[in-house]
Amino acid sequence: MTPGPNSLPTIAELDVEGKRVIVRCDLNVPLADGAITDDLRIRAAVPTLRALLDRGARLAVCSHLGRPKGKVVEELRLASVGVRLAELLGRDLTETRDVVGEEAAMACESDVPVVLLENLRFEPGEEANDPAFADELASLGDAYVNDAFGASHRAHASIVALPRRLPCAVGYLLADEVTQLERLLHDVERPYVAVLGGIKVSDKLDVVGNLLEVVDAMCVGGAMAFTLLVAKGQKVGRSLVEDDRVEDVKEMLQRAASKNVAIHLPVDVVAAESPEPGAAHKTVSLSRIRDRMGVDIGPKSAKRFSEVIAAAKTVLWNGPMGIFEIEEYAHGTKAVATAIAEATRAGAFTVAGGGDSAAALNELGMTDAVSHLSTGGGASLELLEGRDLPGIRALRDAGRRNQ
């Protein structure tokens, strides 16, 4: 067994036989009318759960789902997630109606192999990292495993308080995410290209700042590109722009220039009257956008980005190139995904992160097209910003205490 990254305590070192192990997973899947639209995160949780069961552990699986903000929201019960998890595990599981309390305690004391606790965020103590709630949650098990990479940037009770209370270890998914993502920060094969898109430049400025230290080039699309274009003095019509970030972006562009990082921006766009499906739209060069809104990168930009990607040995992709949820505006995202898939086949190390980027790949049937598809949106960005995630720090500290 290889040691966990950053010398995190591993499952192999944890005594689990006959124990009830609380496993914090990230089963926060996208739902539409109560149905799971992408089960990537549930599938990704299975290897750790199987390994623990094989070693004779009984499990108390827990996760959040959506944003119930500390109260019970019927549509956000984990029931449908439980059904899918049971199918994937090939085991029955017992779902509790509450996160903690008498019923949960009885289920966890029984010998049923897998208990699924109710949505952690139904309890206000989860997000508040309330010690009393953490005590109650910890009392349900004998040991703790964190496999919830997508939630490890949150200082919530199930993430940071449990490792202080129970013998603990890092799950396989979390360990793998950290290992793969850290490959993008050190010893990368060059050229290293970051392909960035999505909605807000403000969400991604910190990561862009950190990436400038390591990448050779960036291709920027999505709504995010328009703030960069404005910073360069271009007119972008009614495209989404974050006016209060233009100055920060100007500084960032200067830093990029001083570090010889090439920033590729769209030269043509799909210009629409409105962002609604069915709105009048046409592909124009950027200078002809007039008062329309840019909703996707155009074919010339897609071709340029694809050439840059084809020459890369390392690619990070975060954020769609346009409003990919609308089919007519998904071409740029599809072109970039295809170029990344080809680069992967040609031997490049490629990583996609971000909830919507993963959803786009899933919709295109291309989740296997990258070397690593991260299950974490915010968590993967924070890691790439060079930050120590609270959940990982908590495991590391617990590991040190045990030495």
Residues that bind Mg ion (CB under 5 A): 355-356
**What is the 8-class DSSP label of residue 215?**
-
Separation in Å, CA 394 to CA 30, 92, 96, 162, 389: 28, 32, 27, 9, 9
Residue 170, Cβ density class (10 Å: 0-12 exposed, 13-18 middle, ≥19 buried): buried
Looking from the CA of 136 toward its CB, the CA atoms found within 13 Å total 19
Contact of residue 325 among ligand ADP, Mg ion, none (CB under 5-8 Å per partner type): ligand ADP
Shortest Cβ distance from residue 308 to ligand ADP (Å)?
19
Q: How far is it, in rounded angstroms, from Cα 114 to Cα 57?
A: 9
Shortest Cβ distance from residue 326 to ligand ADP (Å)?
8
- Report the residue number, 89 or 336, with the smaller CB distance to ligand ADP: 336
- Report the residue number, 248 or 325, with the smaller CB distance to ligand ADP: 325
- Dihedral sign computed on CA atoms, order 173, 338, 357, 217: positive
- Report the residue number, 122 or 324, with the smaller CB distance to ligand ADP: 324
Where do contacts with ligand ADP occur on this chain (CB under 6 A)? Answer: 197-200, 203, 222-223, 240, 275, 294-295, 318-320, 322-323, 325, 354-357, 377
Q: How far is it, in rounded angstroms, from Cα 104 to Cα 93?
A: 13
Contact of residue 182 among ligand ADP, Mg ion, none (CB under 5-8 Å per partner type): none
- Report the residue number, 221 or 355, with the smaller CB distance to Mg ion: 355
Candidates 227, 218, 174, 383; CA nearest to 316 is 218
Give the residue numbers marked as catalytic. 41, 200, 355, 378
Do 60 and 115 contact (CB within 8 A), yes or no? yes
Shortest Cβ distance from residue 220 to ligand ADP (Å)?
11
Angle CA(136)–CA(105)–CA(398) in degrees, nearest 5?
A: 45
Residue 349 CB contacts under 8 Å (≥ 6 apart), including other chains: 183, 188, 189, 313, 314, 315, 371, 372
Contact of residue 240 among Mg ion, ligand ADP, none (CB under 5-8 Å per partner type): ligand ADP
Shortest Cβ distance from residue 244 to ligand ADP (Å)?
17
- Report the residue number, 171 or 376, with the smaller CB distance to ligand ADP: 376
Q: How far is it, in rounded angstroms, from Cα 72 to Cα 74?
A: 6
Contact of residue 68 among Mg ion, ligand ADP, none (CB under 5-8 Å per partner type): none
Shortest Cβ distance from residue 388 to ligand ADP (Å)?
21
Q: How far is it, in rounded angstroms, from Cα 144 to Cα 165?
A: 9
Q: How far is it, in rounded angstroms, from Cα 8 to Cα 387?
A: 16
Report the DSSP beta bridge partners of residue 349: 314
Shortest Cβ distance from residue 139 to Mg ion (Å)?
36
Question: Where do we find the tokens 């993967």?
Answer: 380
Contact of residue 206 among ligand ADP, Mg ion, none (CB under 5-8 Å per partner type): none
- Report the residue number, 169 or 384, with the smaller CB distance to ligand ADP: 384
